Structure 1
Amino acid sequence: KIARELWGEELLLPSVATWWCGQETERAHVLANIDRMVVGPALSTRLAFEDDGQTKLGSALSVGERAELVARIERDGEAFVGQEAVTLSTTP
């Protein structure tokens, strides 16, 4: 919206796909795809690498950590968002 207001055009790069876990359909999507997601606090104002480990990469979790995170999302879904895990680009 900011780009539209300032420049009158859409951004050239899309935002990372994000699902708020406070809605049943979106929460189910995050849980079904948790191994391909980054899951963190919904209302965080900090970057994922600066949030004292609150944001988790689903594929990096142990079985126990994954079960604990799933239980927390099922219990307090409104407190979490899931985002597609993206690979950052690099240049030679």
Structure 2
Amino acid sequence: MEEWKKVASQLDKDHAKEYKKARADIKKKSSDTIKLQKKVKKGKDEVRGQLDSALQDVNVRYAVLEETEKRAVCRALIEERGRYCSFVTMLKPVL
């Protein structure tokens, strides 16, 4: 049981670290995008290319965040499945 708790805690820590990093990247890129949007609204058309690139980069960052979340859920499910299988294996001799 103690090992299971350690593994669950480690999975949670790893996920939190990855999630915070991805969110920070998105936040930074979003603020840059907002600044560029304000410049474009003021009439600076030469910034339009940078804005399009920044918007595309934010979309890519969101896709990376989504993929990170999927991997974390998959790892958690695999761990849970392993625990269940271990429990059933230990319970078989009793039954």
TM bucket normalised to smaller:
under 0.3
- Greater fraction helix: 2
- Greater fraction strand: 1
Which has more radius of gyration? Answer: 2
